[in-house]
Structure 1
């Protein structure tokens, strides 16, 4: 049924008087031919539809029609038609800024042109490709196409094509910042363009002279005809020859004088332009020289000022750095002596300040009450890092020593409660409403007998890890979710204690959040699970081996990522 309808359409359309087919009519006919297997007629009508759409500005429909025609001609190996259609598609895609499709189409044009050995189409394809690559900012590829096109233009000695290539090369070199080559090709373009214009001017002159000759001859002939009609001239073969000769001589004289006048006019105009260019160039050079001198003087003064300020900053920075290093020595003196601790416990510490001084600190205190030797260990993470954190760490260290050494508080929960109150008082938080404080993991260790130890733990937003040697397993003991320096928490029961009975060779780990929060370049955190894996893997061995492995793992994990916070971990092994 569809085949019959298509045949009727084909028969009816030519019979309509004054009928102008619309774009979709061409496509309808093309579809009909395609269904009938008449691919050649289908391709021709798709091509006509494409041109009709293109003429009406319907570029997407035009591209679709040309693509259909191209598919059929490619199957038929019609290279000439494929070249033309690919070129049309490249132009449409360039106009609609679909540059990747335009590039593909023009590459097809180049391939077909080379198959046909058609230098003109090869040149046009290379120029179109260069323009598309410039729009896509693929400047090195644009340069390759432009240079290949230039070789063809030079072989053909086609000045307009040569100028077009020089322009493309100058633009491409300018885009990639090669000002030397850009200027060179711009000069070549300017010289070629001038040569083209000179040739065009000469052609116009020749055409003008020819037109004048024709006009003068027509005038003379008219005068002769008038004289014949009035009986003033006897038209003979000799007189006609003399008249023509005189007219030709006069015309040649007029043409010569006209050419001389035009040449003089051009020479005067040229000389005037040269003088104008020299004058403007001289003025620009003087202005540029003045600006350069002014800028040099200004830059020299700016450099001198910058150098002076830099020297001042270097001096100030050195003084500040020296002061901070001195503060580091003071802070290190505040930290406990590990050799003294190791008389009773195996101890290892990883202490990485983010800056020279740290807001973290580790702490140890021994006190004897009723003939019982209590050992207190803590890792404290104060608000901030650097100099502000270091001040907080000194306050925290002093208050812990005061609470245990002066006020004789030995219950970890009570110690944290007293530390909270004293820190609020020290920082006048009730009046200033500041939120500075510290997180702490506090352990009290008492040796019960040769093989057992009592551990009492209290934490303010910091946990403790217990590695039990017999079970070969690490577990986390969480603290309370309340920081030290919290105005709202004034209840003595805010902090709780956890009591554990540990065996010899068990290990206690306290650490700041800088360890587990340290990110890597992919913004992943080091994390507690990774730390537990390292503990379970290494702690059956020595603490020193564990610390070396932990340090290497941390360095490998963070790679080139800057350290985010102070990092402190203290491991206490029970002998």
Structure 2
């Protein structure tokens, strides 16, 4: 024990000493740059020094970093230094990203891009396009990120810049990985790996091997979800092979952080393969390195992995110990997302051991952590907004000073020339000038009075306009944030594709936020999917949708209700209780319509329960024994119960329809927004009949193509008219 304490003290001293050395080196660099700036004679040189000083302060002093960027921007504009201006806008983009303001970063990058395009600077154009791609990636706008990565790749290929090509191929692979297209991701990872080998770039080779391992592991998850256990075994073997290659190279590079990451990845594969002892060995190896590095994030992650493994083998006491340690660290360093995950895992652990009181306690803590995550992000947005407002105020004040100074100069010039002209004219026409000056003086007084009145009126109008704009921005920012929160609680489409590779989601909110939502959950036996239409749209509908998602998660995930009709009965009870509905007039309007399916993934038996929204199935023939199935051509319409999920005058239990699906059957779930849309040549509703005809016409096409056809048809029908409601359509092929 004493040796351990000594080693820890020694390690702490080394860390402190290293930090001091780095700080001292940074201070020397800053001192050198300040000396160069002081002695610099050229304005272009000063701009470059300002940008270099930004680098030094970027991660240590935001105020000074921004101050040097403002100096660089002001001087670049003053001397029309295009190259310096392009560079400064790039750095302003980086600064905005550091603040978490990715939209503002994109604006700065685009300003830089325009200048670089005018200068025909292909290298800068390529770098800027890449930066825009990264910003869109951070906003989870993967299609736009992919578009900019491909543009960057094209220019890098034209320049023959293999380093840039290798990096962009890897970035493109990551986007396809995020979108769940693991085959394409692997194609680009392997292309990146090939170039990294040509460049003898050990770090690139190691990173690409790790990415390939991640893609094979993701494919293994999909194979398991389709009962492809033999296929998953071979994919796990491939994943391990590439993880071990990455591990070996990172060990040669002595990159401790990456070594720990690969050890963790290897542990997760063994964990999935139920080789628990090997998984534990690698988790503990990774944990040891994380502790040596003082990487609390890594420590919490691996403690959580170890706790999860002990839960899998029903060693609940050990699981509890490691999970609580992971939670304590996550809590201490503000890892809110991980805290939510650990609180939920601990809640499930206590549920398995029958300790319902503690299970509920940690579930409530998870919900509170979610609220904190929301509030933290909102506070960050407010800080960004205040920062931008202050910056705009400072700029406006400076612009005002500049305008006054320019006006003074112009006034002085006018006075000088007036005096000279006046003297000459006095000599020639003294009497005439005298009378003219009197008239001019009176006119000037009138003009000044009117100008002052106009200026005061303008100021009042501008102040009122500013107040309105700020209020509108506050409201819009809040709604945009609500949109991000709403999208975050929707199921990831990658999870739906993993369970049903032939599927699509068409989700078109009328406003920024939506009263529609879709739900998906898969357990070992069944997959649950629903299209839900809440009362109203926009903000009121969005609030109702968040209630719906929360209640469905509780009913399906926590209570494990498996029967479709029972799920709707429980959902109705939760809605009535939450909204405190007593049966008064108008309360039945506050609720939701829903089409919900529970599909047994082993025998493809489908349960359907609906509240005002039907289910559509396309296959060869109508099954026997269902009177509430209407057939149009080859399309079956499973009728819903004509009642909402809310308090209702004639409430009755929801009907549970059981249908045996066959391979190749296609099902569609919809809200009513599509068929209710006005448009076409006579500005009429689209109607359900046309929608069913589209389903019949497109059923044999690939699912993503079906989505495009539905989307294009809707937009063509709508034309210039406003979208009247939220639109949701889900399609699955068995």
TM-score of the pair, normalised by structure 1? 0.45
Higher helix share: 2
**Larger relative contact order (C-alpha < 8 A, sep ≥ 6)?**
1
TM-score of the pair, normalised by structure 2? 0.36
